[in-house]
């Protein structure tokens, strides 16, 4: 039995503990255990993160990210499981495309992973996670009059539908700057789509997750409806008034909101009123961010989400319990995977953190840039995944991720 010792986050609090590991699982948690032991002293042993929203761009856009580079960036930032989106080239909307994507990324991921299939009229059979763009930005879309029928199919499979909630008839993807871009796709467009999908699902009760909610008003509504939803780091850190080296670096969908809206959402996160944090890691090359109107929407973030939030723990902005809930426990519970907490029977996925080891954010994505560059952050010293040390002293060892769902 392997044993790690230190200040571990167990059942909502930190305590000195010895954690026994066999066959990649936690088999014992006691004050003292005997075996091959690593003692991490006063460093914290925390559950690693689960990011349910990444775009690792493979297949089709490997020039700006691929599964190997994206998953390595995630791992170095303390994430040991991701769920990758289906808006690839070709879009993952057929059984053949789904199987080909699995084949291409096999043995290339540094972290464990699951894949979304795009929701169209014909469900991808092997998938149990689906994505719908109500924005109509791509072919991963079904007409609104088919929503109830598709939700019934999702329900019958006991699958999960992740939703990009912006109403296609409301948004206008245009603008010469961030403020104008937001004005043409306002919070009301998000609200309209959220209410439409919830109304369609009222009698069906399929499992829904609303992605990247960008306003406090809509977050409060979803809390009342008891619907899973996520918030991104960029929507709580930046507004359309934020300054970037190139303004299009901040061009995302849904758009960055007003400073007032950002502040309200930030406070909801810090108070633990948001069920999940997700990166919506969507890298593009810097040359694709040159002119605002033609720039691609999206920014990298899987390499900054947990390190920046850990710095907020150090400075007292958020409690460790709230953060672990949003980045580990709740996403793992939503997916139904054996991760997210330090408990007997769970995968031995940990990050080892020294809260005094403050660094500056550096871009780890293949795209080579980050809007968070230079911000204070705390990266894990070591990372364990299924009982293996996969990052040691900040160096990733080898790609050994497996499909988990």
Which of the residues are catalytic? 280
Would you say 60 and 88 are in contact if contact means Cβ atoms under 8 Å apart? yes
Tokens 């009301």 correspond to what residue? 188
Structure tokens at 249: 């670096």
At CA 265, angle to CA 303 and CA 368, rounded to 5? 20
28 DSSP β-pair partners: 20
Q: 181: which 2 tokens?
A: 């871009």
**In angstroms, rounded to a whole number, what is the distance separating the alpha carbons of residues 369 and 394?**
19
- Asked, as a colleague might, if the bond just before 277 is cis with ω within 30 of 0, I would say no
Token digits for 30? 């006691």
Q: Which residues of 208-218 are buried (b: 16+ CB within 10 A; e: fewer)?
A: bbbbbbbbbbb
Sign of CA dihedral 171, 115, 79, 329: positive
Return the biggest CA–CA distance within the chain.
Answer: 63
Contact partners, residue 47, CB within 8 Å, separation at least 6: 9, 324, 328, 329, 339, 340, 341, 342, 349, 350, 351
Beta strands at 359-360 and 376-377: parallel, antiparallel or unpaired: antiparallel
81 strand-pairing partners: 50, 112
**Beta-bridge partner residues of 360:** 376
Joined tokens for residue 363: 């871009």
Indicate the Cα dihedral angle 73, 76, 78, 84, nearest 10°: 20
SS3 call for 279 = coil
């Amino acid at each position: 039995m392997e044993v790690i010792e230190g200040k571990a986050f167990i059942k909502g609090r930190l305590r000195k503990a010895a954690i026994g590991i066999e066959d990649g699982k936690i088999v014992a948690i006691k004050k003292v255990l005997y075996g091959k032991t690593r003692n991490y002293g006063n460093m914290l042993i925390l559950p690693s993160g689960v990011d349910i929203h990444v775009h690792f761009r493979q297949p089709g856009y490997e020039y700006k990210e691929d599964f190997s580079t994206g998953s390595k960036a995630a791992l170095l930032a303390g994430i040991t499981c991701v769920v990758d989106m289906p808006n690839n080239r070709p879009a993952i909307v057929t059984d053949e495309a789904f199987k080909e994507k699995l084949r291409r990324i096999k043995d290339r991921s540094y972290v464990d992973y699951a894949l979304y299939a795009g929701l169209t009229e014909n469900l991808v059979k092997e998938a149990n996670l689906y994505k719908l763009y109500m924005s109509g930005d791509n072919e991963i879309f079904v007409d609104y009059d088919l929503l109830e029928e598709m939700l019934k199919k999702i329900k019958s499979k006991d699958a999960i539908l992740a939703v990009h909630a912006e109403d296609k008839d409301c948004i206008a993807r245009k603008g010469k700057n961030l403020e104008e871009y937001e004005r043409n796709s306002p919070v009301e467009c998000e609200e309209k789509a959220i209410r439409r999908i919830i109304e369609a699902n009222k009698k069906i009760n399929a499992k829904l997750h609303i992605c990247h909610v960008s306003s406090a008003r809509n977050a409060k509504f979803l809390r009342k409806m008891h619907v899973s939803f996520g918030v991104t780091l960029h929507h709580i850190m930046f507004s359309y008034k934020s300054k970037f080296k190139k303004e299009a670096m901040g061009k995302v969908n849904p758009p960055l909101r007003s400073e007032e809206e950002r502040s309200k959402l930030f406070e909801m996160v810090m108070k633990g009123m948001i069920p999940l944090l997700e990166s919506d890691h969507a890298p593009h090359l810097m040359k694709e961010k040159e002119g605002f109107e033609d720039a691609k929407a999206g920014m990298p973030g899987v390499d900054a989400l947990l390190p920046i939030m850990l710095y907020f723990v150090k400075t007292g902005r958020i409690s460790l319990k709230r953060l672990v809930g949003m980045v580990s426990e709740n996403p793992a519970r939503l997916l139904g995977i054996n991760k997210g907490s330090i408990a007997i029977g769970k995968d031995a996925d940990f990050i080892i953190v020294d809260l005094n080891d403050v660094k500056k954010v550096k871009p780890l994505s293949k795209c080579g840039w980050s809007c968070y560059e230079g911000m204070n952050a705390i990266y894990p010293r070591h990372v364990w995944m299924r009982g293996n040390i996969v990052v040691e002293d900040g160096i990733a060892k080898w790609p050994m991720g497996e499909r988990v769902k």
